[in-house]
Structure 1
Amino acid sequence: MRGRLTRWLRGGDPAGPTAEDDRVTLLLAAAEAGLPLAPAAHPAAGYGCSCDRVGCPTPARHPVSFAWQTQSTTDRAQIERWARHQPGANFITATGMTHDVLDVPLEAGREALERLLAAGVEVGPVAESDDGRMLFFTLTRGTPEDEDEWWPCELDCHPETMDEHPGLRWHCRGSYVLVPPARLPGGDGDRQVRWVRGPEHPFPEPLTLLESLTDACARHAAEQGHDQDHATGPAWPSRR
């Protein structure tokens, strides 16, 4: 598995003869790392999404089933069955179970990643998307033992609120992201979500990355002329 994973991370040809094997290998590596997976839509001609919804607001970026939270699994046999029966499907990973995702604009993410690695900070799996986002996978803070300790945060991001968070989005309980390898609609058909750092890297605590990410997002927002408060939200979660 490691050889195939390395070939994908180095940009192996997705049209090659082992493309489907490599796709399954990457999905299984993600599941082995603890990412619960469920099938998602994929790009299609016409409306851009394989689902039946006319004018789908998130083409090829949403789960197939409304029961995706309970359906999500790390079970190897189930993931292999899904991949075999739905060869074109993307997959999502449900956040807030075992992991969260800090989701930032691509340029801000690249800047923050460079700074974090240069400072010797342990950075976990990182993916980048051709729709201009970078995803930092972390341990979750979304399932406290004491439900009274559950904290709301303006950075929390759910699928229906992503447009409200152009800066940093914190995907925790009730949200999801596409997991590599995934295909996106638009362009010449080669838009993807891919690993920059693979799922073999241990998940860090989210707060070890948050300050660097919010600082990079603030600089990015200033350069783009966006309102900083709207683009980044508060830097730290607040308890109620």
Structure 2
Amino acid sequence: MSGTFGGRGRRQGRLSQWLLGRRPGEAPTDDDGRVALLLAAAEAGLPMAPAAHPAPGYGCSCDRVGCPTPARHPVSFAWQTQSTTDRAQIERWARHQPQANFITATGMSHDVLDVPLEAGRQALERLLANGVETGPVAESDDGRMLFFTLTRGTPEDEDEWWPCELDCRPETMDEHPGLRWHCRGSYVLVPPARLPGDDGPRVRWVRGPEHPLPDPLTLLESLTDACARYAGEESDPAEAAWPVRR
């Protein structure tokens, strides 16, 4: 994957301007580039499917009473097979569901290393200072930073895959506050996405999808070190970084 998505210099420029020009708390709309951002992510190889969005009352557009992950989950149980990078399909979804968030299914073409926001910012600063290619990075106003990487497996070598349940499931993330490795069987919200809350919290790109996906192992040491420091600053031992398999 190249550093500029497919002879797309002008598109990348518009994407960068949109990322820099957004005001804090501003909700995404088609007019200010929501569809363009989703299509850029798809063109970068992130398979996507529609997700729930914030709503008054229950806080989630789904009909589940007491939804445990409001506006953070797919709308279909078939999200793994539904997820696609097809431009026409994603544009149809986005146009027909203008309020919908989107998830990207991990473990197909990419994984996501998901860390506490402050730990992620420290690690990102250190990685960039050392000249390490970090690839796309997103941050969420609910306190997480997402590092998008190549996957550890592909459909051609399924025996090398491990399911995300060995780390955590999307529904149980609050139990694992340190580093989470989203791989096969998991998903994350892809920017731009909105979260429940009066102040318009959201998920946005810090480094856009035009950056090539790195090998996750090139980021792992910096991220685990930052998580360990973050855990050491927390008074509650339950906030210790989630252990990563070797």
* TM-score normalised by L of structure 1: 0.90
Q: Does 1:66 align with 2:77?
A: yes
Aligned residues: 234
Give the drift of 1:154: 8.3
The 1-side partners of 2:75 and 2:154 are apart by 25
Q: Does structure 1 retain, via aligned residues, the 8 Å contact 2:141–2:202? A: yes
Q: Is the Cα contact below 8 Å between 2:49 and 2:74 reproduced in 1?
A: yes
After superposition, the Cα gap between the structure-2 partners of 1:147 and 1:23, relative to the gap in structure 1 and judged at 3 Å, is closer
- The alpha-carbon deviation at position 7 of structure 1 amounts to 2.2
Partner of 1:20: 30
Q: Does 1:206 align with 2:222?
A: no
8 Å contact kept, 1:155–1:233:
no
1:134 aligns with 2:145: yes
The one of 118, 130, 135 aligned to 1:124 = 135
String of CA shifts for 1:32-87, please: whole Å, max 9, x gaps: 00000100000001010000011000000000100000000000000110011000
Q: What corresponds to 1:181 in structure 2?
A: 192
**Alignment of structure 1 residues 103-122 onto 2, 5 Å:** 103-122=114-133
For residues 79 and 125 of structure 2, the distance between their equivalents in structure 1, rounded to whole angstroms, comes to: 34
How many Å apart are 1:151 and its aligned residue? Answer: 4.4
1:171 corresponds to: 182
Deviations 1:80-103 (A, max 9, x none): 100110000000000000000000
1:29 aligned residue (30, 34, 40): 40
Q: Percent identity?
A: 82
Report the alpha carbon displacement of residue 6 of structure 1 after superposing the two structures with TM.
Answer: 1.3
Structure 1: how far apart are the matches of 2:181 and 2:88? 30
- What are the ranges of 5 or more consecutive residues in structure 2 without an aligned counterpart? 1-10
**Structure 1 residues 144, 91: closer, same or farther in 2, change over 3 A?**
closer
In the alignment, the residues of structure 2 paired with residue 197 and residue 65 of structure 1 have an alpha-carbon distance, to the nearest angstrom, of 29
Cα-to-partner distance string for 1:124-153 (whole Å, 9 max, x where unaligned): 000000000000000000437444433478
RMSD: 2.2
* Structure 1 residue 165 displacement after superposition: 1.4
TM-score normalized by the length of structure 2: 0.88
Residue type matched to 2:220 in 1? L
Q: CA contact under 8 A between 2:231 and 2:239: conserved in structure 1? A: no
